[in-house]
Structure 1
């Protein structure tokens, strides 16, 4: 079976970065990092489904992007840990957008608890979203991308926690992100014959609504249990003099989703301001 990855050397740069005519799904896309990713994909021309547990926020984000960029944008409720929910989102992309070319597994959880105090339910929930969710989204996307032979691109939002441990209390998160990074490699091998590339993007801490809320909740939970958590100052590890912002990560995702990265699959790109050097 031929591998349908063309040589794009003669394609103009403006066309390589363009996603005009393509269709995308971004999970966890209603706010924060996911919304920034959805915005750059829409600006590049994709029609898009913003999938999120919060259907109201997803709908509002979709309306905003449609108005800004003149693309077709839909909001949909999605529980990425539930097979039927993920499949329904993928089917909606086919039915209402006409196909599926890009899928971004962005939805994730960031709880924090020392191992000795971590309940089974926390571990299971983190893996249900951060690892199982990546698997389900990738599988359902690839099944549909393979139907017409066009292939596509899957981008998994990993984390620097897929490379290292930043501070204590991160066992479930770090393990789930290492799993997602490993899954990215394996998916790339399995899906290449179908014309599907799979890439990871690993941000450092970005101060989004969700990340700030998770950090605050973790600190309060630890304090209530009489445990002191002292996360490192991420600015100490930035080599560019500032923290990343959501659009910093979104631009890397755009590169991964576009034909600019045609030669790449299986890699996880560090978008971390040099933190992991």
Structure 2
């Protein structure tokens, strides 16, 4: 990836990820899957990791069928350092290198503070904060010549969110802070680090969490989670994916350390 002045590049060259190799954690569905599809469309080869291996493999197969390119789906537990390292090594073995890593995997159980166990708190931080750290570390170790790490944060990384989400909000503040620190540490290696902070976007994972918390019936669909925003519509996974593509491409080549709000104006 270029680290110099991109002024002479055409728009097509600026947005292209041709020749880039990417890993997306939690990529089997929802935001991660949408991100993988946009990166592939821009020319990247992708490895999709997910705690549910069957979802990762299905997403990779769908990419191969739609775009006629090779994609890889693997089991990935972002809270386990050996699993993260194995996914990074698999990407290098399959594609010959690693340029883009998207820390997307996250969990968000809703538990009131007075009822939250140590195990629940630790589990959320293990995925949302430790997982971001492990992904960034293993990616940076393999990004010869530079690259981009994109951390999916949340507007919960800027403010309180809702009752029962203390662990989630705390972990996302940690991920946003880690984005800033990693940008400083990895800049000498030619690695940029950016955060993307979605507002509330209906996904399969959000639906399951809402049902588990008793907020929605079992026959609800992601559309039942739609919330209005100041711009007059709810967000979609692809709204987030397009901003991740911007971060991964030369369009953002003079940016690092920032976390971009993608919330339809919710935080305005």
Q: TM-score, normalised by structure 2?
A: 0.94
Aligned match of 1:24 in 22, 36, 52? Answer: 22
CA contact (8 A) 2:200 2:227 kept: no
1:54 deviation in Å? 1.0
- Of 179, 187, 193 in structure 2, the residue corresponding to residue 184 of structure 1 is 179
Q: Which runs of 5+ in 2 are unaligned?
A: 217-224
Moved over 4 A (4+): none
Distance (Å, rounded) in 1 between the aligned partners of 2:42 and 2:151? 19
Partner of 2:263: 272
CA deviations 1:99-152 (Å, max 9, x no partner) are 00000000000111111110111000000000000000000000000xx3x200
Deviates more, 1:69-78 or 1:153-162: 69-78
CA contact (8 A) 1:23 1:100 kept: yes
- Could you tell which deviates more after superposition, 258-267 or 68-77? 68-77
* Contact 1:62 1:74 survives alignment (8 Å): yes
TM-score w.r.t. the length of structure 1 is: 0.91
Answer whether contact 2:202 2:226 (CA < 8 A) is retained.
Answer: no
Q: How many residues end up aligned between the 2 structures?
A: 259
State how far apart, in whole Å, the 1-side matches of 2:67 and 2:100 are: 18
Most deviating of 248-257 and 52-61:
52-61
Residue 235 (str. 1) matches residue 235 (str. 2)? no
Unaligned runs of 5+ in 1: 222-232
Structure 1, 150-159 or 58-67: larger mean CA deviation: 58-67
Superposition CA RMSD, Å? 1.4
Distance 2:58 2:64 in 1: 10
Report if aligned partners of 1:38, 1:50 keep a CA contact under 8 Å in 2: yes
Is 1:78 the equivalent of 2:73? no
SS of the aligned residue for 1:164 comes to coil
CA distance in 2, matches of 1:44, 1:62: 16
